[in-house]
Structure formats: structure tokens, C-alpha cells
Amino acid sequence: MAVFLEETLEEHQRTISYSVPVYNAFGLVEREIPKTLNVKIPAGVSNGQRIRLKGQGTPGENGGPNGDLWLVIHIAPHPLFDIVNQDLEVVLPLAPWEAALGAKVSVPTLKERILLTIPPGSQAGQRLRIKGKGLASKKHTGDLYAIIKIVMPPKPDEKTAALWQQLADAQSSFDPRQQWGKA
């Protein structure tokens, strides 16, 4: 059963329809009985979790009790968040000057937007932890990790290019490929 990430936050109802096969004495499907159920999906469900619906499966043999129906939860991909256990990850696009100088930026969580302080000198790929903003389970709540991605502005105009050149001149001793050695 596919569930959206936001649906894991609170308990909710879902209506499902399915068919239960009825077998003849030879073990062949004689007919199918359509069924519709309202299913309670608990808060904090996780990918791969199984939900048991007692007595909602196939009829028992020789008049015995019905079997159980098991639903397997599959959390649908989200456009912003990736799930890693109970933690969430979001890519945080930053302008070069926000990464260099530090900034306060708005970051989405599953419930709201928060203001995150970006430390000066932040690097691409750096993970900033936002405690308690991941997925909740019965045992604990995960964290949200904002992963920095530095995004360059479009092709610079003359004024912007001159500013970049000033920065390059001021930082002429900086070599980001220093670990490669001299060629």
C-alpha cells in the first residue's frame, strides 16, 4: 500500500478494495468475492512495515476461520525529502556568498518551514543537522539533515564578473586542487 510521507505524521483512514478468491474442492479458484475495507494507518508507519487485518484474508478450509490480510507499507518518493531510516535529508541550495559569509535561510520540514543558521565557510556536501525534525516512531524521532549544494548564479554581467575577479585576486594563494600536487 503506497503512503505519502506526510501521511506518516498522523493516524488516518484509507479505503481499500480487493478480491478474495474462493476455491473449489480441487484447489481451483471458483469465484472471487469483492471486498472494501476502511483501514486505520497508524502514525509513524515506516517503509516495509506490515499491517495485519485479522480475518480479512481468504476463507478457511472446511469452514475454518478466514485467514489474515497483510498490507505492506511503501512510502512514495517525495519531491524534496529522502528517507534514511528515521532521518530525512533535503538538498539545501545556497548562493556562494551565503556559504562563504553565513546566512539565515528558510528550510522546509514535513510540518513547517524553519529558519536555519548557515555557518560562515560552509562547504558543498556539508550536512547540517536539524534535531527532531525527521520521522517519528514509537521509539524516537529522527533528524532532518540539510545537505548543502552551492548554486552559481547565471552568467555574470560585467559588474558581477569584475567583483568575481576582485575576489580571485584577493584569494590568489587559494588553490582548491592543492591536494593533487603540482603538474
Q: Do domains 2-75 and 81-155 have the same CATH topology?
A: yes
Strands (E), the chain: 2-3, 12-23, 29-41, 50-53, 69-72, 74-75, 81-84, 87-94, 103-108, 113-118, 127-130, 144-150
| pLDDT on residue 88 | 96
Mean pLDDT, residues 140-166: 93
pTM listed for this prediction? 0.80
Sorting pLDDT into bands at 50, 70 and 90, what band is 169? very high
Sorting pLDDT into bands at 50, 70 and 90, what band is 40? very high
Sorting pLDDT into bands at 50, 70 and 90, what band is 183? low
Whether residue 1 contacts residue 16, with contact meaning beta carbons closer than 8 Å, is answered with yes
CATH T-level topology, domain 81-155: HSP40/DNAj peptide-binding domain (2.60.260)
Q: Residue with C-alpha cell 479458484?
A: 29
Comparing 108 with 138, the larger pLDDT belongs to 108
- Listed by start position, the domains of the chain span 2-75, 81-155
CA 72 – CA 82 distance, rounded (Å): 20
pLDDT at 70 over 70: yes
Sorting pLDDT into bands at 50, 70 and 90, what band is 29? confident
Beta bridge partners of 130: 144
Beta bridge partners of 71: 51
CATH code at 2-75: 2.60.260.20
Mean pLDDT, residues 18-41: 86
| pLDDT on residue 51 | 94
Q: What percent of the chain has pLDDT over 70?
A: 99
Which three cell numbers, joined as nine digits, stand for 40? 486505520
